[in-house]
Amino acid sequence: MKSIISSILFVLLISPVHSQVISGEQKSISLTKKKEQKVEEIKLFPQLQIENTRFTNDNHNNFLEAKENAILEISIRNNGNGIAKGVELRISNENKSFKGLDFVPSQIVGDIHPNEIRKVSLVISGNNKLQEGLARLKIEVIEKNGFNTSPVNFEIRTRPKALPMALNWKSPHIPDSSVYNRTFAVSVIIQSGSEIKNINFFNNRLAQDPDYKITNINGDFLLEYDQNLYEGENALKIHIENEEGLTIDKTRNISFINEKRLALVIGNADYLRGGSLFNPVNDAIAMAEVLKSVGFDVMIFKNTSQKEMKKAIDEFGVRLRDYDIALFYYAGHGIQSDGRNYLIPVEAQLKSLNDVEYDCVRAGRVLSKMEYAATDVNMIILDACRDNPFERSWSRSGSGKGLAFMGAPSGSLIAYATSPGNTAADGTGKNGLYTSALLKYIQVKGLQIEDVFKSVRNEVENLSGGMQTPWETTSLKGRFYFKR
């Protein structure tokens, strides 16, 4: 009996469960430590797929032709549960020997979220070298972390297209023009669906053989060459044939005026003691540009001292020996003294009438240089008939208003902004009234010089209400056109 009780006690001591009475019930409490449950992490991965490709071209057919654009639309789907990072679409030509396709080989798409469909459009063009056949393109989608698609092939049927030829003139840019240099730089743009095969050049129906250069620029051809001109009229004709046998020819007319023209232009406005003028420098700049446009080499000076004016006139006289046409234009203060006209430098003091001869520059100095150079046509234009700003401080005045009459030697023309003895206003616009009209009519094609100044006189009289009448003296012997 004793051994049975001992056995029962031993079993109770080693048992993992002991009893506890709660509310009259006996419950068992486990003393064993529970095992921890492991939670597995779910990983997210993108899965890209090229779902659809769609080809649309300008002609809405299944062919891509030369000089035609097409759109290749590609749909990319992310079938995975993760974001596709830094997606890039790449396209390449499987057949390296296939020529004539132009496209951008790579396009950034960006991130694509799960279940998102991203449409990407690529422009594919056929150039002049496009051949007939079947172009095979390889399309790949590349993902930043390596979740790329398998390459997909896309085929495009191609064929060349016989484009009509076109020739556009760059120089000369107008159908009829006048130039003053014997050598003229010709340039044209040729549009052709194939390479240029033959080029023939003519001038006045006579075959020419110039050295020329032809450059392919984005599928078009730039043709450049220098043409030696005949004196008078030149009919320049270009005849072109391409590899497809298509031809085109175009003609431009150029008049070569074999005259060497030189102009001296002076504008004085910033007078130190006589008060500033508003327009003369603007007038001089504008006149220089217009004279350049009608074939003059131009010497231009602004706000000159007496020394600078004399030096400019002397240099003008030396250079004139190599020219046929001479023109002198002056805008600024001018004065007459003892029947002679003087141009006033910007630093002149002119405390009395006696100072004019020593502080100013005699206008006749220019005419003397022209006569010595024996140029065929000589022009002196004086927009200098403004009121004398120094006269009010003189004790007596013997200068008279405006400029005095100057006789024009044979082959010469002398033009004044207003009639002798009268004054002209400086003007309130960018250019003086007289010079504005002169700038306008110098550029009118086909006007003889006498007609230019008649037109100027009519316009100035109308705009001034008859208060200002431009004047000229002339003994020109031949015809002269600023612009033929």
DSSP string, 313-370: HHHHHHHGGG-SEEEEEEES-EEEETTEEEEPPTT----SGGGHHHHSEETHHHHHHH
What three-state secondary structure class fits 293? helix
Q: Give pLDDT, residue 22.
A: 38
DSSP conformational letter for 481: B
Contact 379, 412 (CB under 8 A): yes
Annotate 82-103 with three-state secondary structure. CCEEEEEEEEEECCCCCCCEEE
Q: Give pLDDT, residue 327.
A: 97
Find all residues with CB under 8 Å of 104, minimum gap 6, and list them.
Answer: 91, 122, 123
Q: Helix axis angle, 364-373 relative to 306-319, nearest 10°?
A: 20
Q: Give pLDDT, residue 8.
A: 46
| Residue 336 to residue 305: CA distance in whole angstroms | 19
| Residue 268 to residue 216: CA distance in whole angstroms | 50
Closest CA to 156 of 138, 183, 181: 138
Would you mind telling me the total number of residues written for the chain in this entry? 484
The fold of the 261-474 domain, in CATH, is Rossmann fold (3.40.50)
**406 vs 86, more confident:** 86
Q: Give pLDDT, residue 310.
A: 95
- Mean pLDDT to the nearest integer, 110-136: 90
Given a cut of 80, whether residue 41 has pLDDT beyond it is no
**What is the Cα 375 distance to its own chain's centre?**
38
Phi, then psi, of 154 in degrees rounded to 5: -135, 130
Q: Which of these ranges, 1-10, 268-277, 350-359, 446-455, has the smallest mean pLDDT?
A: 1-10
Q: Give pLDDT, residue 245.
A: 83
What three-state secondary structure class fits 175? coil
Cα–Cα–Cα angle for 316, 296, 406, nearest 5°?
55
| Residue 383 to residue 363: CA distance in whole angstroms | 12
Instruction: Dump pLDDT digits (tens) for 311-370.
Output: 999 999 999 999 999 999 999 988 888 778 889 999 888 767 778 888 889 999 999 999
Give the DSSP H/E element, type plus range, for residue 248.
strand 247-256
Contact 195, 242 (CB under 8 A): yes
Residue 340 tokens read as 């002679």
Given a cut of 50, whether residue 395 has pLDDT beyond it is no
Share the mean pLDDT of the chain: 84
| Residue 243 to residue 195: CA distance in whole angstroms | 6
| CATH number, span 48-159 | 2.60.40.10
Beta-bridged to residue 126, according to DSSP, are: 68, 101
Q: Using pLDDT thresholds of 50, 70 and 90, give the confidence band for residue 38.
A: low
Contact 329, 281 (CB under 8 A): no
Q: Would 48-159 and 166-256 be classified into the same CATH topology?
A: yes
| Residue 324 to residue 50: CA distance in whole angstroms | 77
Given a cut of 50, whether residue 409 has pLDDT beyond it is yes
Contact 417, 403 (CB under 8 A): no
| Residue 132 to residue 143: CA distance in whole angstroms | 35
Q: Using pLDDT thresholds of 50, 70 and 90, give the confidence band for residue 375.
A: very high
Instruction: Dump pLDDT digits (tens) for 276-303.
Output: 888 899 999 999 999 999 999 999 999 9
Domain limits of the chain? 48-159, 166-256, 261-474
Instruction: Dump pLDDT digits (tens) for 55-83.
Output: 888 766 667 888 888 899 999 999 999 99
Q: Give pLDDT, residue 405.
A: 65
DSSP conformational letter for 81: S
Q: Give pLDDT, residue 252.
A: 96
Neighbours of 206 (CB within 10 A): 10
| Residue 99 to residue 300: CA distance in whole angstroms | 57
Q: Give pLDDT, residue 386.
A: 55
- Mean pLDDT to the nearest integer, 422-438: 78
Give the DSSP H/E element, type plus range, for residue 77.
strand 68-78
| CATH number, span 166-256 | 2.60.40.10
Given a cut of 50, whether residue 21 has pLDDT beyond it is no
What three-state secondary structure class fits 408? coil
